[in-house]
Amino acid sequence: MRWGLLITGIVAIMSEKSALELEIGQMIVDALNLEDIVAEDIDPESPLFRDGLGLDSIDALELSMAVSQQYGFQLRSNDKQIFASLRSLSEHIAQHKTT
């Protein structure tokens, strides 16, 4: 029973969003005009494409342009690892942002 509580607590901690993840989540909502979604509802571990948020290749291109404008570096829209989830995108931006 204790292990179950510990694991549940770890999963809850890992799912919490950082300030940067919330900021990027809001950028996603704004850049793509997602009317039915708020940044707080985007699970940082869920896929951004297909079964997750449901984005497509045009959305990836638009996000790449938004990242370039907001964070000052070019992002390749065809890099599937970077766009795997909000968390992976946030980690990549944290490592490369210039502004």
Q: Is 21 exposed, middle or buried (0-12, 13-18, 19+ CB in 10 A)?
A: buried
Q: Is 53 exposed, middle or buried (0-12, 13-18, 19+ CB in 10 A)?
A: buried
| Count of domains for the chain | 1
Q: Is residue 40 part of a domain?
A: yes
Q: Is residue 22 part of a domain?
A: yes
Global pTM reads 0.80
- Asked if 97 and 73 count as a contact pair (C-beta separation under 8 A), the reply is yes
Q: Is residue 30 part of a domain?
A: yes
Q: Residue 55 is encoded by which pair of tokens?
A: 């984005």
Q: What's the pLDDT at 79?
A: 84
Q: Across-strand partners of 85?
A: 47
Q: What's the pLDDT at 15?
A: 58
- How is 54-77 classified by DSSP, letter by letter? -B-HHHHHHHHHHHHHHHSS---T
Q: What's the pLDDT at 1?
A: 43
Can you give the pLDDT of all 99 residues of the chain as single tens digits? 444 444 444 444 445 789 999 999 999 999 999 999 999 999 999 999 988 899 999 999 999 999 999 999 988 878 889 999 999 999 999 999 887
| CATH number of the domain bearing residue 46 | 1.10.1200.10
Range of the domain at 66: 17-96
Q: Is residue 10 part of a domain?
A: no
